[in-house]
A and B are shown apart, each in its own frame.
Chain A
Amino acid sequence: MSFKNLWKRVRPSDSTEIAPPTGEVLPDPAHLTNIAELERALDGWTRHWAPGEREQPDAQLNAMSRRAETELRTFFGQDALQLVRSTAGQPGKGPLLLAADRLFVNFLGRRAAMAVTRKLYSARL
């Protein structure tokens, strides 16, 4: 799975109260036991997310971006963060997370990037 697809799966919807369109029962995150289950759950949560919503300000996305910046600074340094910011746009926007995710996946590996993504996701709650 590419990192872009991974991010599409991980990216949460703005509202947690919207029910899945299919009416299927999604697993409670507290009971997830492996990455495959995590991906399946996130896929379910984001399936009804419209592409037009990507540009909308999002408080949860802001929280995740801040956490992504912290992680970027840890692994690549302050200057890399500036570089990513300049190429990805303003803080709090999706592209920064995408660019950060790209670096994590390539330099740390998919498994470690997935662990970072979990931390980013937990930052939104």
Chain B
Amino acid sequence: MIAAPRSVRRLWAALGILLAVGSAAYIHFLVTGSYDLLVLFFRNPGSAFFVVIAGIEAYLARRAYSQFEFSEPMHTVWTLVFMSACCRLTGAALGQVLSADIPWNPLVVFKLFHLNQSGNWRDLGLVIGGPAAMAFLGAGLMYAIVLTRRLGVLSRLTTADWMLIAIIATFTARELFEIGVIVFVRHERASVTQTLLWFSDPLLTLLLMQAVSIRRSVLNMGQGLVARCWGMMAAGVAFTSAGDVALWAESHGLIPTTLSPLGWFIWFFAATAFASAPCYQIEAVRLAHEGSYTAPFSKSFST
């Protein structure tokens, strides 16, 4: 089996360091019952990690799509993944940094930060980094599925796959029921942000179905670089689903207070998995070119 590219190892090593710091903050919370260190961790190194890794993902996805010509189907796939990454980057910048009263927020530095406006920044960040990013990613994955189907490498889903999808679909149905109660029973007026965020769960269900399909095909393909690229994409969607379920369970009091911060860490895994996917694609193309310009066939190739 080919070792993971150095860029992937670096990303996961960075996540390891972050989690080590986060674990210390969590242990402090368990011992003292104080959220201070946890809040400090998520608002500073945590937020910085989200912004940086989303930036890395966007940069790598840009490099991945530039490896394909405009007429190739994968160009469209990676363009949509790139747009999704840009949405995540914008969402992280708005929702994690510009809306937070933290010392390294540029608005705070230049004394332009207003607490009453920060909520709008955060809402905008949530919508762009949530449903908008998911819509682009969903479109990209749909293209990838159509391509794998056309090439005959798309596999049928197993019973276990359908069960996982059924669990998430049930969760989404439950969410839609709650939305229905708010709108039609209580006659409450939802804000534009809230209405847009309601699209997150159905989109996430669709994404999970796509990810499971791709994952199943990837399992059937094995452990090659391209296969692992799409495996990472599927892992990112699965972590996002898990994080979403954890948030929902927390908001409904289904998770003990001492365990709820663990759910917040899931989002770091999702972000790292999404950023790792284009690394595998870039490495695969690099490897394709490696050794192709040497003797005896093409000694003097310079392209």
- The reply to whether the CB of B225 lies closer than 8 angstroms to some CB of chain A is yes
A75 touching B72, Cβ below 8 Å: no
- The reply to whether the CB of B67 lies closer than 8 angstroms to some CB of chain A is yes
Q: CB within 8 Å of B: which of A1-54?
A: 29-35, 38
B226 touching A76, Cβ below 8 Å: yes
Chain A's closest residue to B294 (CB) is A122
Chain A's closest residue to B222 (CB) is A77
- The reply to whether the CB of A59 lies closer than 8 angstroms to some CB of chain B is no
Q: Complex: how many Å from CA A38 to CA B69? A: 19
A118 touching B302, Cβ below 8 Å: no
Q: CB within 8 Å of B: which of A54-72?
A: 71-72
> A-facing mask of B266-303, CB < 8 A → 1, else 0?
00000000000000000011011101111111111111
Residue from A30, A34, A106, A110 in contact with B299 in the complex, judged by beta carbons closer than 8 Å: A30
Q: Complex: how many Å from CA A13 to CA B280? A: 36
Chain B's closest residue to A71 (CB) is B288
Q: Complex: how many Å from CA A77 to CA B231? A: 12
- The reply to whether the CB of B247 lies closer than 8 angstroms to some CB of chain A is no
A76 touching B67, Cβ below 8 Å: no
Q: Given A83-B220, A87-B152, A38 and B298 touching (CB < 8 A)? A: yes
Residue from B221, B226, B298 in contact with A118 in the complex, judged by beta carbons closer than 8 Å: B298
Residue from A31, A78, A112 in contact with B222 in the complex, judged by beta carbons closer than 8 Å: A78
Q: Complex: how many Å from CA A35 to CA B302? A: 10
Question: B79 to nearest A CB, angstroms?
Answer: 13
- The reply to whether the CB of B74 lies closer than 8 angstroms to some CB of chain A is yes
Q: Given A73-B224, A80-B153, A112-B67, A107 and B74 touching (CB < 8 A)? A: yes
A interface: dominant SS? helix
On chain B, the residues within 8 Å of A110 by CB distance are 68-69, 72
Q: Given A77-B221, A107-B74, A33 and B302 touching (CB < 8 A)? A: yes
A83 touching B300, Cβ below 8 Å: no
On chain A, the residues within 8 Å of B225 by CB distance are 74-75
Residue from B75, B221, B284 in contact with A108 in the complex, judged by beta carbons closer than 8 Å: B284
B302 touching A34, Cβ below 8 Å: yes
Q: CB within 8 Å of B: which of A94-118?
A: 102-113, 115-116, 118
A116 touching B288, Cβ below 8 Å: yes
On chain B, the residues within 8 Å of A33 by CB distance are 300-303
Question: A115 to nearest B CB, angstroms?
Answer: 4
- The reply to whether the CB of B7 lies closer than 8 angstroms to some CB of chain A is no
On chain A, the residues within 8 Å of B18 by CB distance are none
Q: Given A31-B300, A103-B151, A125-B297, A74 and B227 touching (CB < 8 A)? A: no
Q: Complex: how many Å from CA A75 to CA B284? A: 6
Question: A110 to nearest B CB, angstroms?
Answer: 6
Q: Complex: how many Å from CA A35 to CA B152? A: 29
> A-facing mask of B1-35, CB < 8 A → 1, else 0?
01000000000000000000000000000000000
- Give 5 A-B pairs besides A83-B220, A109-B67 with Cβ atoms closer than 8 angstroms: A75-B224, A77-B223, A77-B227, A80-B222, A81-B222
A-B contacts, 29 of them at CB < 8 A, read A29-B298, A30-B295, A30-B296, A30-B300, A34-B301, A34-B303, A71-B288, A73-B222, A74-B287, A75-B226, A75-B287, A77-B222, A79-B220, A80-B220, A80-B222, A80-B224, A83-B152, A83-B220, A106-B73, A108-B284, A108-B285, A109-B67, A109-B69, A110-B68, A112-B285, A115-B292, A118-B298, A122-B292, A122-B295
The 7 A-B residue pairs with the shortest CB-CB distance, nearest first, are A77-B222, A112-B288, A79-B222, A77-B224, A115-B292, A122-B297, A76-B224
